[in-house]
Amino acid sequence: MSQFAALTIGVPFPCSAKAIVTGLRSLLRFLQLEGLIDRDLALAVPSVAKWRLASLVKALDASSVARLLDSCDQGTAVGRRDFAILLLLSRLGLRIGEVAALRLEDLHWRAGEIVVRAKGSRRERLPLPVDVGEAIVGWLRDGRPDCEGRFVLTRARAPHEGLHPSSLNGVVHRACQRAGLPEVGPHRLRHTAATQMLRAGSSLREVGQVLRHRDTEVTSIYAKVDRLALVTVVQAWPRAAA
């Protein structure tokens, strides 16, 4: 018993049931290898149930998004670029890879559309909101360096290559720090875009189209953010068999 205590002293408690189960199984296997127990008790530890789409969507509220955007100094090239990035993430719900892949020829100004280079080499058109378009124009005219590259979003300093998705993570994290908000990732802004569309009256189908979900079941998770939206996915209670 004293050896067991020595193994566990100073070990922090895991933050999830799954981590607890994994740690307990490892401990039991170690005890068996050391000869402290005579059988593999790890097999007796049950798995943690995990249901698909069971978690709640975490999104930022409107005031937090405004603080993120206001933290960008639009008097500088980097500030104008970061402002455009945050709008693409929070207004259109683009993934960081899609933002990084955006090219000059993907902007169709006359049609008011933007071509998104999505997963699986798909290219899909989305309406380009006025505020997002104005932010991109501000970066292209008064920020983006004169270079041969075709990426819309580039490094402000040489070499003027396109931004890597990891760099976009850094843009969001630094904006959180400037705004005095807990650090979140770019995907939280994708959830935020979906949530704001729902609260503005968009249907789940429309949200799925903007986010480019292939499976409507994936979009249904956003129904949890609004009780009224649950009406569109609720199923009738099955009647008892006669």
pLDDT on residue 175 = 96
**pLDDT value of residue 54:** 54
43 plus 144 within the same structural domain? no
Instruction: Write down the catalytic residue from 144, 155, 191, 222.
Output: 222
Tell me, yes or no, whether 233 lies in a domain. Answer: no
Decide if 190 is catalytic. yes
106 and 220 co-located in one domain: yes
The lowest-confidence range among 55-64, 66-75, 168-177 is 55-64
Is residue 85 included in any domain, yes or no?
A: yes
Are 169 and 105 found together in one domain? yes
Q: Within this chain, do residues 35 and 73 fall inside the same structural domain, yes or no?
A: no
- pLDDT tens column, 25-55: 899 999 988 888 888 888 888 877 665 555 5
Choose the catalytic residue: 25, 67, 117, 187. Answer: 187
Q: What is the pTM of this model?
A: 0.69
Contact 129, 91 (CB under 8 A): yes
Q: For residue 183, what are the domain limits?
A: 62-227
Are residues 133 and 18 part of one domain?
A: no
| Among 81, 188, 190, 191, the one annotated catalytic | 190
Per-residue confidence band for 74, with pLDDT thresholds at 50, 70 and 90: very high
Based on the residue annotation, tell me whether 123 is a catalytic residue of this protein. no
187 a catalytic residue: yes
Residues 150, 192: one domain?
Answer: yes
Across the range 238-242, mean pLDDT stands at 54
Same domain, 92 and 180: yes
Residue 108 lies in a domain: yes
- Mark whether 41 and 66 lie in a shared domain: no
Catalytic residue among 119, 125, 164, 205: 119
What pLDDT sits at residue 201? Answer: 79
Q: Which tokens belong to 82?
A: 């970061």
CATH assignment of the domain containing 213: 1.10.443.10
Give residue-wise pLDDT tens across range 179-202: 999 999 998 998 888 888 878 777
Q: Do 46 and 66 fall within a single domain?
A: no
Confidence at 11, pLDDT banded by 50, 70, 90: very low
Catalytic one of 80, 91, 95, 155:
95
* Pair (26, 97) in one structural domain: no
Active site residue 95: yes
Catalytic site includes residue 125 = no
Residues with Cβ within 8 Å of residue 33, at least 6 apart in sequence: none
Tell me the pLDDT of the chain averaged across its residues.
Answer: 82
The predicted-structure confidence for 101-138, as pLDDT tens digits, reads as follows 999 999 999 999 999 987 777 888 999 999 999 999 99
pLDDT higher at 14 or 61: 61
Percentage of the residues of the chain whose pLDDT score is greater than 90: 43
Instruction: Note whether residue 5 is domain-resident.
Output: no
- Does one domain contain both 96 and 208? yes
Q: Looking at the 3D structure of the chain, how many domains does it have? A: 2
**Band of residue 10 on the pLDDT scale cut at 50, 70, 90:** very low
Residues 101 and 17 in one domain: no
